Amino acid sequence: MFRRRSDDAAASSSVLEKQDETPQARHPEAKKGRPTPKRSEAEATRRTRVTVPKDRKEASRQARDRMRTEREKERQALMNGDERHLPARDKGPVRKFARDFVDARWSLAEFFLPAAVVILVLSIVKVGAVQQLSTLLFLLFFVFVILDFVRLGFGLRKQLAARFPGENTRGAVGYGIMRTLQMRRLRLPKPQVRRGEKP
């Protein structure tokens, strides 16, 4: 008598466990929890699905093609400022603000390379007075560039603290200072603000 009841209880518990293990069928009118993709998106996904290469040569060719595509995307992003495909060192709102802060200002550092070429030419001239003048000009220019770096660094640090409180701005000041060493037309990513424009 007691045994029969215990057998029935064991059988019913095993049935319940099996029901728990089997996945619940979704009601036909219930939502899936994700949007249905458009036909064009689904076809594009199928077309871009990576095929398994047949041999090592084919795999290396596919890898080269992928790298070439990525490099082209990065190059285009450096030209037009597209944030999605920029290199990691240039990504993010903090780096963008640092670039705009530098690009909106005149700085002596951006003329360092042309000035260095002129001073080098003057130092080659075999006239004592001209060589001394070139050395003096180089020292003066170097000091003014350092002072310009200090001014820009303090200004950029202050603006970053005001614009991005609590965010990680490490390396942004050095990033901005290194950008000032490049002539404006040679900077990458290309400047997105004009001179005198507030970032």
Regarding pTM above 0.95, the answer is no
pLDDT band at residue 59 under the 50/70/90 scheme:
confident
Per-residue pLDDT, 33? 64
Reduce the secondary structure of 51-91 to three states and give it as a string: CCCCCHHHHHHHHHHHHHHHHHHHHHHHHHCCHHHCCHHHC
The DSSP result for 154-197, as a single string, is HHHHHHHHHHSTTS--TTHHHHHHHHHTS-GGG-SSPP-S-TT-
pLDDT band at residue 25 under the 50/70/90 scheme:
low
Residues 124-137 as b or e (16 or more Cβ within 10 Å = b): eeeeeeeeeebeee
Composition of the chain by helix, strand, coil, percent to 5? 70, 0, 30
* Nearest partner of 172 among 109, 82, 75, 100, judged by Cα: 100
Per-residue pLDDT, 34? 67
- Give the pLDDT confidence of 66-86 residue by residue, as tens digits: 888 888 888 887 888 778 888
Side chain identity at residue 169, one-letter code = T
Per-residue pLDDT, 46? 66
**Whether residue 189 has a cis bond before it, omega within 30° of 0:** yes
Cα distance between residue 192 and residue 90, in whole Å = 13
Burial (CB count within 10 angstroms: exposed 0-12, middle 13-18, buried 19+), residue 156 = buried
Q: Give me the chain's average pLDDT, please.
A: 81
Q: Radius of gyration of the chain from Cα atoms?
A: 32
- Give the pLDDT confidence of 86-131 residue by residue, as tens digits: 888 999 999 999 999 999 999 999 998 888 899 889 888 888 888 8
Paired tokens of 147:
């002072």
